[in-house]
Amino acid sequence: MERTSRIPGFYQLPVEERVAKVAAFAGLTEEEEALLRSLDGLERETADRMIENVIGALQVPMGVATNFLINGRDYLIPMAVEETSVVAAASNGAKQARVSGGFTARATDPLMIGQIQVMHPAPDAPDRIAAGKQDIIDLANAQDRVLVKLGGGARDVETRTLDKDMLAVHILVDVRDAMGANAVNTMAEACAPLVEELTGGESRLRIISNLADRRLAEATAVFHRETVGGEEVVDHMLDAYRFAALDPYRAATHNKGIMNGIDAVVLATGNDWRAVEAGAHAYAARDGYAPLTQWEKTPEGHLKGTIRLPLAVGIVGGTTKVHPAARVALKILGVQSAGELAEVMASVGLAQNFAAMHALATKGIQKGHMRLHAKNIALTAGAVGEEIDRVAEQMVKENTIRVDRAEEILAKLRRT
């Protein structure tokens, strides 16, 4: 079978057939397929080990986005999200990008920053840290032999004078395929006494920074003028982008749309979405809050988009290997490194942003969104079983997708 993420009509297939297609694409075992089918990704014992005071688990639907071609490779992308239309929009954006060759993505080395806060340092503390840099690096690396053996570890030490009496010492750590917080926090705590000794100050906080601006992922794609809908639509989309570039009220929503897609992949793969969110928005705010994407017109009149953001995500560590459904999600993705995972996520963010801007600049998002949301409204109105589809279809037909109308349709249905 050709290994392609372009699967026309995927959304119309029954769940069972979708699972079979994904299993064939990713070479899943029978157990992995069964896990997806059962919706029962997490056993009580595993959940009880993951956090404290466990009483149950909350399930969120996991879908796969189709059509993604990234650096010439096809991906089916697992997305765990409760919001209607996110997976459809990502798949649609990817389909349009595919026409011009898909996404080109890259990630920097996975450098995370460990911060040590130093109070009342000596006036020449930055020089003393610079002189003792190698000792700090060696001590940090002594904490994590595994990471060093894999080619990672502490790389550099920097200082930032924050106030007369406060210095931040940054340890830059290559965390390879991990998200890295535990690894970096351990190093920061271990190095604090040496930093105190060197600076003549008192160390206080010792923790990773979520502004992971040394660990960036970038993706670009060109959306062909004709697929986008012609020159006017391209221009309207560029105006939509300028709106976000000029106005933080719009930029926040622009970036929320981007994170709709990215968070869903972060969650599906067992990664820490709070860390990714914190990093994304802190990065967006570095020179005044701004969009995480840039859009421009190519000389040929096509629409070119670029996204750049920090993505502290791993394929080892944290819960990536602990949560059975996250393990399957990573297998479906087939990524070989944390950098490749970040490249995929950046591409999803760009596809998502394209789809949202396209809808907003043309027909508005409510038509498509509410059509997909109609079943949720039917459920809210109390529909069960076959009633759900019938109520939803009737509301779509009438173009009135509201709970009060769903209740009326349902009442009528039950009378007949």
Q: Which chain residues interact with ligand NAD by CB under 6 A?
A: 144, 146-147, 150, 152, 175-183, 185, 208, 210, 272, 275, 314, 316-319
Distance CA 65, CA 150 (A): 32
β-sheet bridge partners, residue 219: 105, 307
Distance CA 21, CA 74 (A): 14
The residue type at 373: H
Q: Which is nearer to ligand NAD, 326 or 372 (CB)?
A: 326
Distance CA 270, CA 327 (A): 8
Q: How far is the CB of 144 from ligand NAD (least distance, A)?
A: 5
Type and span of the H or E element at 362: none
Distance CA 147, CA 2 (A): 37
Active site residues: 83, 256, 272, 369
Distance CA 180, CA 315 (A): 11
Q: Which is nearer to ligand NAD, 192 or 303 (CB)?
A: 192
Q: Which is nearer to ligand NAD, 207 or 396 (CB)?
A: 207
Distance CA 332, CA 78 (A): 7
Q: Decide: 217 and 105 in contact? Cβ < 8 Å.
A: yes
Q: Which is nearer to ligand NAD, 201 or 314 (CB)?
A: 314
Distance CA 90, CA 349 (A): 8
Q: Which is nearer to ligand NAD, 102 or 317 (CB)?
A: 317
Closest CA to 77 of 354, 294, 359, 352: 352
The residue type at 190: A
